[in-house]
Structure 1
Amino acid sequence: MSLIETKQRLIQALGDKENRVIALSGKWGTGKSHLWRDVQRGAEVDESVTKAVYVSLFGLREMGELKLKAVQSAMSQVSEKTAGGERIRTALRGAKKVLESVHKAFSALDEIALLAVPSLLSEKLIVLDDIERKHEKLGLDEVMGFIDEFTTQHEARFVLILNDDQLSQRALWDTLREKVIDHEIRLITTVEEAFGIAKALTPTRYANAIEKASTTCGLENIRVIRKTIRAVNQILGDRNLDDAVLARVVPSAVLLSAIHFKGLNDGPDFQFVLSTGSVSDWAEILAEKEKDPDTADKRKAQWRSLLEELDIRSCDEFEQVVVDFLESGQFDISAVSTIVARYAAETEALKARDAAHRYMRQLTWDTDVDEAELVEIAKTLVPIAKHLDAYAVTDLSNAISSLPGGADSGNAIVQGWIEHFRTLPHEGSFDEDLFNRPIHDAIREAMASVEAQARSRVTLFETVQHIVKQSGWGTREELVMKTATAAEFESQIRSLSMDERAFFMRHMLRMRIQRGNYDSHFGTATERFTEACRVIATAPNSGRLGALIRALFKNASLESELDPREPGPGTMVGE
């Protein structure tokens, strides 16, 4: 039952005097206390409701504390010029006279109040909230006895506000429902209603973006939503951010906050979210495809579906800053500013990604839109698709091309991307995708062309320098080394400066000594290097360069490799 429907049912139940004990139940944080206050302030109820005695049992250890809090609530009406207020004042005066007749010391307010409880609460509507949060020393049977006494002997009525998802002693609660409660109303607040209440209590300039993410996460606990709003407000401050930037930062901030404040039902943990889109994440996805899914795999599949709904494809330092803030309560404001500024600079790319995500979602789920309209919408993506990565463009193009009449738009998206790609600076190394994601043939050809051009501009020295400094290599480095001829090695050695030559010779000799580690990647590169050195060292009038090479090979215990020999098959010396 929604909030609006529940409110009307509660008003009707309160209007029926036969309902001596009414229970308003539901999950923790879904707005039951808020609903009661809303009803109490309304014009549809009588004075017994507007002047109800409210008691929170949170932390109460004994019945005396409960009664005292009830009296304190009732005494708030003493100064009011009403019949109820006059009745309370009369009860207090009578209680004081009784106590003082026994002993003059009995004039303390607490003793007076406790003695006056029956008179003070007679014919009152008493609201008991937070019953499940009472101290364990205060037994539920005592609370039930209190309710029974005042309903049967003093014409009181009760409203019990119950968080039934947190109740212990289930058998006793069943007894409460069976023997005490006359009418129970269960509140099921929608996620939209919960956010509406939270937003009214905790304003934010990012309300639309937070509501979208909160609704996707299914957050229905108002306390959790308010904490989430406060977290987003603190992290983002009062920045005037573009919608595309908000679409990048708010969903992950909301999700991580919901995880931290335990607002998700069987949701992921921080580590799962932070690793999204990483090599380990993709490796796990590929491994899961090779076996029948178990319970853990199915849970992770649901988590990935949630992340996809939120359009969280990968995480970077922003998500780490959010986690640090949630765990410590502190964060680096300058770091957030730097990250958000970078996102703002990448606004066009973020807008393109958001538009592509919305289109793919519409293509999948909006069955009310016909295919012709989807093709027309696809045309609007052609100018912005250049800001996407090659894999996203491939997916988008394939999806659009599968529509009747969509081939032209799908092809235009690819061609527009390629034209933009060719205008950008490239190092020329496009490593193979570790996850075997599909890539359009035309895009692959464009990448290969750019790679070949860049490779022709990269020297052997630059390649070796990259391998050493990066402690690794990619496709570009492998291709340069595999295709290098002995003549190219010779030319490189002769053209280097003193420091460059020392660096190049030292590391090429190391590769030659450890060629078992390199030959599978670089082919015969170290052999071509040795051939080039042999040509220089054995040439007439080789001079000091020849002497240097002979000394280096001798120190490396490789001097025999400089001995003259007949060119073998495939040798490229002198080419």
Structure 2
Amino acid sequence: MSLKATKEHLTQLLADADISVIALTGKWGTGKSYMWNEVKAASEDPKIAGALFASLFGLSTIEQVKIKLIQGTIPALKASTKSAIKAGVKVLEGVHKGFGALNDLGLVVAPSMLKGKLIVLDDIERKHEKLNIEEVLGFIDEFTQQYGSRFILILNSDQLKDRAMWNTLREKVVDHELCLKTTPSEAFDIAIGLTPSYYSGRIREVVETCGLSNIRIISKVIKAVNRILGDRNDLKEAVLSRVIPSTVLLSAIHYKGIEDGPDFDFVLGQGNDIEEMIAAHEDEKGKVTEDTKRKGKWRLLLRELGILTSDEFEVLVADFLQSGLFDVSSVATIIDRYVTEDDLTTARNDCNEFLQRMVWEHTLTEAELLLEGTKLAENSHLLDAYKVTALHESLSELQDGKVIADLAIDRWIKAFREKNLTGVDLDNFFHRKVHPRVEEEFNAINLRSQTSTTALDACLHIIKSSGWGMREEAVLKSATVQDMEQIIRTCSTSDLQLFMRRMLEMCTDKQSYINHFGTAMDNFVHACRNIANDPNANRLGKLIKLLFADSKLEDGLKSKDSELAS
């Protein structure tokens, strides 16, 4: 039952004097104690308002439980009653010295002090192993049967190590059990009251989508958002849509608030199509595993949250959660960039929403969709190559949408040309769809840039970027022996070191690079051979021989005549 319904039922059960023992169960952190305190505070019944409370956490004897309960009665006792109790204990001590070991209030007076009381025992599953369940049963049975006491037993059902213990309690003493299933909305209402946030509306949406119902975890999630965003109360909707879902989800994962939810690696890898490609491939083969099913479920959650990709922001949030160290300046820099790119973010979010609506909003007419798509097409220059392609494809499916779709591509290309880029890397390793006209623009720029890019530039780019694109591949493939020789003879010392190191590495593992760079490695070796065998090369020739020997490639420097002689 929800918190509201459970609260109403508990109030009704307490009004029934024939029910002596009520069990209140539910998962950890869902507000059982919180709900009981609300019932107690709202009650006009003096027995409920004056209920005694004891947590069994770590208690190893039933005497310790009684003492805790007796201590709870002290504030309500009159001064004359306290004096009488103390005097009675001193008389008992005079009769038998063993009574001196008792608490000042005296366990001997427990029956009279707990008689007719409503007793709340919390954290039953966390009792010390020395506290035998039979003792607890005996205590409850004695005080309900002989002294008219009533009990509320509170325990976290998901934290039970000894299930048999609870079954015994339930069978022998519990008259009625209430199982609390707090809804995410109810849990958030409590948590936000404890931990206020300017971003409460946005956080609530994500909490409910993730199904978080643990109040303590939600409070930690709210604190994480507050810490990361600070007092930036001027952030626009698009930026909040970008940062809050990721922050809430990663925090929920870190604090283990989502049962069978995604892990950090899955979220940080979002936007990498390789997982979807593998899943689709396995689907086609009919080899869907439990792992692919689970990841498919995770993907649906991330899409529902609008987390379509991850970047350095998610990495910083994950680092903060794991280390506790918060890099304020780095996060501020990223958020500042999001703010300056607000138009871009808004356009991308609007496009994502439109594409989702195209699929799911079956009640929308094509005319309504076309009207939305026309507005998006006006800002198509703010989209990336893949998104504008997807927009074009979707608009083209609508009646009279092809014209609008083509206009979207026209605006994108016009804006792209105005950037005057010297080169561009499509980075389409996963073969996502790109409109032919967009791809032509990329190819045209790269073709022009090749005339001004040398093999040295390509190598330096590969070293600095730890990777390469189409331009680097094209330049190295087209580099002649003469080009290579010119670079080696004329470049600066620092560039020569980088160039020689990278080219020698590629020559050492030639088979791994030949498909990308063609004859580049052969032409490089040929150029080095020319220089090494040039009597006028002097120290440069000696340097090349030394580097090739160190790389175990000295055979490549042999002249054709020496190869024939051998």
Question: In 1, Cα distance between the equivalents of 2:457 and 2:109?
Answer: 93
Whole-angstrom distance in 1 between the partners of 2:324 and 2:56: 30
- Could you tell me which residue of structure 2 aligns to residue 330 of structure 1? 325
Q: How far, CA to CA, are the matches of 1:533 and 1:329 in structure 2?
A: 53
CA contact (8 A) 2:507 2:521 kept: no
Q: Percent identity?
A: 44
Write the letter of the residue equivalent to 2:3. Answer: L
Distance 1:502 1:165 in 2: 63
- Provide the residue aligned with 2:358 in structure 1: 363
Deviations 1:214-270, CA, capped at 9 Å, x for gaps = 222211111111111122222332223333222222222222221221111012222
From 409, 417, 441, give the equivalent of 1:414. 409
Cα shift readout 1:374-428 (whole Å, capped 9, x = no counterpart)? 3322233223332222112222332333344443443333332222222224342
RMSD: 4.0
1:311 aligns with 2:310: no
Q: Which of the numbers 260, 264, 288 marks the counterpart of 2:258? A: 264
Could you tell me which amino acid in structure 2 is paired with residue 29 of structure 1? Answer: G
- What is the CA-CA distance between 1:475 and the residue it aligns to? 1.3
Q: Which of 407, 424, 428 matches 1:433?
A: 428
Contact 1:99 / 1:112 at 8 angstroms: preserved in 2? no
Residue number among 114, 117, 135 corresponding to 1:121 in the alignment:
114
Given that 1:511 and 1:526 are in contact with CA atoms closer than 8 Å, whether structure 2 keeps it comes out as no
- Conserved 8 A contact 2:279-2:292: no
Whole-Å separation in 2 of the counterparts to 1:403 and 1:260: 44
8 Å Cα contact 2:510-2:521 kept in structure 1: no
* AA aligned opposite 1:242: K
Report what 1:27 is aligned to: 27
- Which residue matches 1:251? 245
Note the 1:447-458 alignment, pairs <5 A: 447-458=442-453
Aligned residue identity for 1:73? G
Distance 1:421 1:134 in 2: 68
The aligned length equals 543
CA displacement at 1:294 relative to structure 2: 1.4
Match of 2:375 in 1: 380
Q: Which moved more, 1:236-245 or 1:130-139?
A: 236-245
C-alpha deviation, 1:531, in angstroms: 11
Call closer, same or farther: CA 1:112–1:471 in 2, change over 3 Å.
Answer: closer
8 A Cα contact 2:118 2:149, kept in partner:
yes
Equivalent residues of 2:455, 2:476 under 8 A apart: yes
Supply the distance in 2 between the matched residues of 1:384 and 1:302 (Cα, whole angstroms). Answer: 33
User: What SS class does the counterpart of residue 165 from structure 1 fall into?
Assistant: helix
TM-score for the superposition, normalised by structure 1: 0.82
2-structure distance, mates of 1:397, 1:253: 32
TM-superposed CA distance for 1:71, in Å, is 0.8
CA offsets per residue over residues 545-574 of structure 1, 9 Å max, x none? Answer: 99769x96997847669xxxxxxxxxxxxx
Query: 160, 163, 167: which is aligned to 1:170?
Result: 163
| Residue 156 of structure 1 pairs with residue 149 of structure 2 | yes
Partner of 2:211: 218
> Which residue of 1 is the match for residue 45 of structure 2?
46
Range moving further from structure 2, 230-239 or 188-197: 230-239
Q: Secondary structure at the match of 1:323?
A: helix
Are residues 1:102 and 2:95 paired?
Answer: yes
Q: Give the corresponding residue for 1:302.
A: 297
**Relative to 1, partners in 2 of residues 1:523 and 1:132: Cα closer, same or farther, differing over 3 Å?**
closer
Contact kept? 1:91, 1:120, Cα under 8 Å: no
TM-score by length of 2: 0.83
- CA contact 1:217–1:264 (8 Å) conserved in 2: yes
Aligned to 1:71: 70
For structure 2, the 5+ residue unaligned runs are: 546-555, 562-566
Comparing 256-265 and 238-247, the one that deviates more: 238-247
On the 8 A contact 2:274/2:430 being kept in 1, the answer is no
Q: Counterpart of 2:62 in structure 1: which amino acid? A: M
Task: Identify the residue that residue 124 of structure 2 maps to in structure 1.
Answer: 131
Cα separation, 2, equivalents of 1:525 and 1:106? 97
Within 5 Å, which residues of 2 pair with 1:226-245?
A: 226-240=219-233, 241-245=235-239
Structure 1 letter corresponding to 2:8: Q
Report if aligned partners of 2:203, 2:244 keep a CA contact under 8 Å in 1.
Answer: yes
Q: Flag the 1:122–1:345 CA change in 2: closer, same or farther, 3 A.
A: same
In the alignment, the residues of structure 2 paired with residue 464 and residue 259 of structure 1 have an alpha-carbon distance, to the nearest angstrom, of 42
Counterpart Cα distance in 1 of 2:218 and 2:519: 63
Classify the secondary structure of the residue corresponding to 2:239: helix
Q: CA deviation at 1:171?
A: 3.0
Give the deviation of 1:98 after TM superposition: 5.1
